[in-house]
A and B are shown apart, each in its own frame.
Chain A
């Protein structure tokens, strides 16, 4: 009996240390077999790194994922890492839920890795001198246009509008009515349901104004340039009548485009694969039209490291995140989903080069990065953006003038952010 016991003990000692398990929440914001790709990444990584187990937990939309991550954190069993919106950074810091990556990424190689991402994406990932998020699935807004509709309207099908003036002019030509005066095709659609603030940044950035400061405790909603940007947006529907009135639903805008109900649409570059699959006509992808300059907000999700994890888990998590954001895998991810590969050297990999050759539209979002700015992100982010969202929707439905709507939104934002300015 004792012999058996000794053998068992010996066997146990000889076994490798139990695997580190890294759970991570990830949202699926674009369609397609994303879950399978993530599972594939996990399996490949585990093969190369026995001793680490990756457990991807699919947690819904970005909104739902932050709720899940924070409820899990508050009730004691948070994931080790999570892919959450880059704009959730301040909220996560305030809730004391995350730890900066610099705390674990200490070697010179690690530091180099942090510096290897596009600066535009790091704007929502760093604050107070620390790196809180690692870019993973990032996007910008782009303009999709129906080349056939352009041809029919007498416009050059290979040239997208480059300025606000041009976009309004093209949209006029593209808006068609039938005999009884009903509109059968709209010129342009900029969706305004759910998170209109993001699309709004596609107007404010070209107007050379930002909506918040780097510390995330002040907003500039009532800046005259911001009001001007909203006026342009509102006029598209109300004065020029080239955009449907009222709030335009984000979810049905791509379908409107496929159905030829609209000739130009603004939406995320993450929709690229979807549009390619479903548009039964020739289409183009372009940067957003400029006014005083070019520009778009960035969007999408970063990897965050949660505080309530052991040092071993954090080290293993770092390994995984470095692996999945390596040039090869970043390229793989970008090709499969339509998100922008988050680092310049990913675009130089042979797979990516081939992909862009066959589908030049994929590089538009990358080219727009040099003009891109941070997405609206502050403390108490959800509330502060809701104030802006409500104001934008009020203006777009004709309930308030742009100036009034934005001034009220600014008042509300000030009230919310005051405690964070001490």
Chain B
């Protein structure tokens, strides 16, 4: 293909056009529109939207629920991302090795991915129900520990939701790690064994660095998901008690589609977009250096 030949130019753009148009319409334009609308007031009935400058953002800063929700989401990310990635790696290593019942293990670990969150949230609601819920049938019935209102107490509700998320995510990430592990030539492991390296050493020095590209990929996914997945909140807690389990996207949904305050929802969305953008830059900048390519 000759460089910058006009035919190639036209063809290139034509091929790209459908995808580009849709991306512009549903990703790029909304980002800009959100910014625009966040500087206006919410139109109500016959009143149109007026320019209000930074007022929505001022309201945001003064809104204790926003800070609560933001804090929740950051804790949520911190709690679910490392855990689900570590667990996924562990699961992949187990399933990749010669462990008994490998097929069943792989199935069991992956099943949560196939079930819709909205469906399993109700089941988890049963698990967490005090006294006769599955968890308490074990802790109270068998172990004799005192009963606890897991989802109805501010201090435990977010952790309970984190467990549900980790349960849902780890199996999906496991598949990526499994594929990556199977691509690592066994000769590397054998060489390490000949040198007398233990399993942990082998993992730390050989396997883990080679899994870095997968880890980056999985990390991106995990970060996005920790801000994107709010289905379980809709079923299990509706953000309660007193916003202790509310996450940013759930609050945006409340504000935008329950209170119909679209301007404030736009301001909140800008915060979410800023966080995602920052996370993207951070990941690609920092981790880019530490990736070891085969």
Contact = CB atoms under 8 A, between A and B. Distances in A.
Interface of A: 63, 67, 70-71, 91, 94-96, 180, 182-183, 192-194, 244-249, 251-252, 255-256, 259, 261, 380, 382-383, 386, 389-391, 393-394, 396-397, 399
Contacts of A192: 152, 241
B67 interface: no
B283 interface: no
Given A67-B258, A193-B238, A397-B154, 11 more contacts: A67-B257, A94-B44, A96-B45, A180-B144, A192-B241, A244-B130, A249-B125, A249-B151, A259-B132, A393-B240, A393-B242
A390 B242 CA distance: 4
Nearest to A381: B259
Contacts of A389: 240
Interface in B106-148: 125, 129-132, 140, 144, 146-147
A336 to B, nearest CB: 26
Contact of A95 (B45, B153, B242): B45
B260 A397 contact: no
Contacts of A261: 131-132
Give 3 closest A-B pairs by Cβ, nearest first: A246-B149, A246-B152, A247-B152
A397 B240 CA distance: 11
Nearest to A390: B242
B242 A182 contact: no
Interface of B: 44-46, 65, 125, 129-132, 140, 144, 146-147, 149, 151-154, 237-238, 240-243, 254, 257-261
B259 A380 contact: yes
A264 to B, nearest CB: 16
Nearest to B45: A96
Contacts of B241: 192-193, 246-247, 393-394, 396-397
28 contacts: A63-B258, A67-B258, A70-B260, A71-B257, A94-B44, A95-B260, A182-B146, A182-B147, A192-B152, A193-B241, A194-B238, A244-B130, A244-B149, A244-B152, A245-B149, A247-B149, A247-B241, A249-B125, A249-B129, A252-B125, A380-B259, A382-B258, A386-B254, A389-B240, A390-B243, A394-B242, A396-B241, A397-B154
Given A249-B151, A397-B154, A95 B146 contact: no
Given A183-B147, A383-B259, A95 B152 contact: no
B45 A247 contact: no
Contact of A397 (B147, B242, B259): B242
Contacts of B131: 256, 259, 261
A399 B242 contact: yes
B259 A382 contact: yes
Nearest to B154: A397
Nearest to B238: A194
A95 B240 CA distance: 27
A180 B241 CA distance: 29
Contacts of A96: 45-46
A231 to B, nearest CB: 18
Contact of B153 (A67, A246, A391): A246
B241 to A, nearest CB: 4
B129 A397 contact: no
A95 B238 contact: no
A67 B253 CA distance: 11
A203 to B, nearest CB: 18
A71 B237 CA distance: 24
A382 B258 CA distance: 7
B132 to A, nearest CB: 5
A63 B257 CA distance: 10
Nearest to B149: A246
Contacts of A256: 131
Nearest to B132: A259
Contacts of A386: 254, 259
A422 to B, nearest CB: 13
Contacts of B129: 249, 252, 255
A142 B240 CA distance: 24
A193 B259 contact: no
Given A252-B129, A397-B154, A194 B240 contact: yes
